Amino acid sequence: MSTATTYKTGDIKQDPATKAVAVRRGTPADGPMAWGVITPDGSGGSYRPYSDIKDWVDKNTSGIAAANPKAGAIRQNPETLAVAVRCANSADSPRAWGVMTIWDGGHYTSAEDVKDWADRR
């Protein structure tokens, strides 16, 4: 059974219903801002405690980056541990991906900015 302290900075979980993605931040594991969450629907990012995302699916397995990922696809920067979720916007949109960092919050960006990040499944 996983607990709040089982996860390390950069670990990823995904809500199977909404496709929102959470990345474990470098803050206290049992704190109210332990996880950064970004949504693929463009509604933005937030910080959440483990209790809010504990039933979400672990997504820490690497894969080959897909050429045309669907909304809800996940990528992670291997250096910064930031996580990105593919949004429903068009592939050429400047807001094609929602990004959540482990320290600096969330934002939306283009496919070009995350093209070399690793796929997570």
The per-residue pLDDT for range 16-47, each reduced to its tens digit, is 999 999 999 988 888 999 999 999 988 889 99
Collapsed DSSP state (helix, strand, coil) of residue 38: strand
76, 117 in Cβ contact below 8 A?
A: yes
The answer to whether position 64 is within a domain reads: yes
The answer to whether position 85 is within a domain reads: yes
Q: What is the pTM of this model?
A: 0.79
**Distance in angstroms (rounded) separating the CA atoms of residues 120 and 40:** 15
Q: Which structural domain, as residue segments, surrounds residue 16?
A: 11-121
The answer to whether position 89 is within a domain reads: yes
If DSSP states are collapsed to H, E and C, what string results for 39-77? CCCCCCEEEECHHHHCCCEECCCEECCCCCCCCCCEEEC
Residue with tokens 């996580």: 83
117 alpha carbon, distance to own chain's centre:
12
The per-residue pLDDT for range 64-100, each reduced to its tens digit, is 566 678 899 999 999 999 999 999 888 899 999 999 9
Is the predicted pLDDT of residue 60 greater than 90, yes or no? no
User: pLDDT higher for 115 or 2?
Assistant: 115
Q: How large is the greatest C-alpha to C-alpha distance in the chain, in angstroms?
A: 41
- The average pLDDT across 111-116 equals 94
Residues present in the chain in total: 121
The answer to whether position 105 is within a domain reads: yes
The answer to whether position 103 is within a domain reads: yes
The answer to whether position 96 is within a domain reads: yes
Number of domains in the chain: 1
Strand order in the sheet with 62-63: 62-63, 118-120, 74-76, 83-86, 97-100, 106-109
**Distance in angstroms (rounded) separating the CA atoms of residues 96 and 53:** 24
The answer to whether position 46 is within a domain reads: yes
